[in-house]
Structure 1
Amino acid sequence: MQKTDRERAIALAGIFQATALVRDVAYKGQVAEADFAVCLQSIMCLDAPDVESVYGGLSGLRRGLTLLADELRTPREMELARYTVNLLVLERKLSADRALLQRMREGIGAIAGRLDHFALTHENIVAALAELYSQTISKLTPRIMVNGDPAHLNRSENADRIRALLLAGIRSAVLWRQAGGGRLTLLLRRNALLREARRLLGSLPH
């Protein structure tokens, strides 16, 4: 995988899209189906030639790229920033635990086998991804505490969506690290990443 600002910006956009959808589910009890599908697809795509291919192209990351550009220019979304930082910390811990990584890879492979019978966003697939998150990432610290409306958070299908999206956030965090992203990259490469996010947005069809 290339280690360029382009690859890193795409991976960050994936994290931002996943965390934004977590917030949508937590506060509104709903999610944009197409954006949700892109996040879930990224989990299933373990072997891809480049970062863009993991998301099936850039067009499905419009929301994430928009949020990324906005936040790099003028940070406002403190809640999304907290989720993002926690995901990056958890990914580093996951990458250091080979047994847990293997368990996750096997789990994703088993879930992928069900796609012959269920659509990617079907509740059975989402519930399986949520269970995989609970069995793996939830064992690590810090545990991500999601804020929201209890009326939505207490519904099992929404809890499953949130865990599946956090798993997608971890997948994008893996891509961020593989593309050369690290603790200081956001600080040292902020302007370069902003330029790249804007360029990528500009390349999308209106």
Structure 2
Amino acid sequence: MAKNYYDITIALAGVAQSARLVQQLAHDDQYSHEALSISLKSILITDSPSTLSVFGLEKDLRMGLESLQSALTDNRQGLSAELTRYLLSIMVLERKLSANKPALNELSSRISQLDRQLAHFDVESETITSALAAIYIDVISPIGPRIQVTGSPDALQRPLVQAKVRAALLAGIRAAVLWQQVGGSRLQLMFSRNRLLQQAQKILAHS
């Protein structure tokens, strides 16, 4: 069966967008509020008619598509290496999660419980961000391995930055689950890099 590289690339861009947000937050950069909002909203979409509609429009994944390009083409040094490390670490955690039925059920239950709060708070509010971070701590962290986030000590000591980093990681895992569902695999990152890169460039060209 032929792989749908459009859907695979869209989902992978979702993972890359989360990885880039973690990087921006950890280094105290000016992170994209719009990209964070799109990524956090994707966690809450559990039933979607298409891969793209989990995130919105192609332009909503511009940061993710550009970050994916960087991970697929740049040398393995500095910030590019760090971005790739986050990307691969998220994928490892997703595999652990998918193999753990109780954790999956708990994750689904906890996310569905957010509906009441979402009636009163925006997805990027401190209340919702902290709730998503708590889900990451309670459900994802125990299944390990822990993702080592590096950056500015000042930034990483702030509770709200910590919460946003964990919420962004949760969004990355959600995108990685989607990536697996549409036919994504680690082997593609080794043997189909050019195909993924061409697809990302094609989407960026008209997004």
Considering the TM-score relative to the shorter chain, is it more than 0.5? Answer: yes
TM-score, normalized by length of structure 2?
0.94
Aligned runs of 1:68-79 on 2, under 5 Å? 68-76=68-76, 77-79=80-82
Aligned length: 203
1:85 pairs with 2:118 = no
The separation in 2 between residues aligned to 1:189 and 1:117, in whole angstroms, is 44
Maintained 8 Å contact 2:8/2:184: yes
Deviation at 1:114, TM superposition (A): 1.2
State the partner residue of 2:18. 18
**C-alpha distance in 2 between matches for 1:138 and 1:180:** 26
1:96 aligns with 2:90: no
Q: How far apart, in 2, do the equivalents of 1:192 and 1:104 lie?
A: 33
Identity %: 41
Deviation at residue 112 of structure 1 after TM alignment: 2.7
Runs of 4+ in structure 1 off by over 3 angstroms are none
Asked if the contact 1:29–1:152 (Cα under 8 Å) also holds between the matched residues in 2, the reply is no
Equivalent position of 2:50 in the other structure: 50
Moved more, 72-81 or 172-181: 72-81
Which whole-Å CA distance do the structure 2 matches of 1:19 and 1:48 have between them?
23
Q: Are residues 3 and 123 of structure 1, via their aligned partners in 2, closer, same or farther at CA, if it must alter by over 3 Å?
A: farther
Gaps of 5+ in 1: none
C-alpha offsets along residues 107-132 of structure 1, whole Å, 9 cap, x if unaligned? Answer: 11111331110011000000000000
List aligned pairs for 1:115-154, cutoff 5 A. Answer: 115-154=118-157
- Could you say what the CA RMSD is over the residues aligned between the two structures, in angstroms? 1.4
* Post-superposition CA distance 1:119-169 (Å, at most 9, x none): 110000000000000001100221001001111101100000000000001
Classify the secondary structure of the residue corresponding to 2:132: helix
The TM-score, its normalising length taken from structure 1, stands at: 0.94
Equivalent residue for 1:39?
Answer: 39
Secondary structure, aligned partner of 2:27: helix
In structure 2, runs of 5+ residues without a counterpart are none
**Cα gap change, 1:30/1:127 in structure 2, threshold over 3 Å: closer, same or farther?**
farther
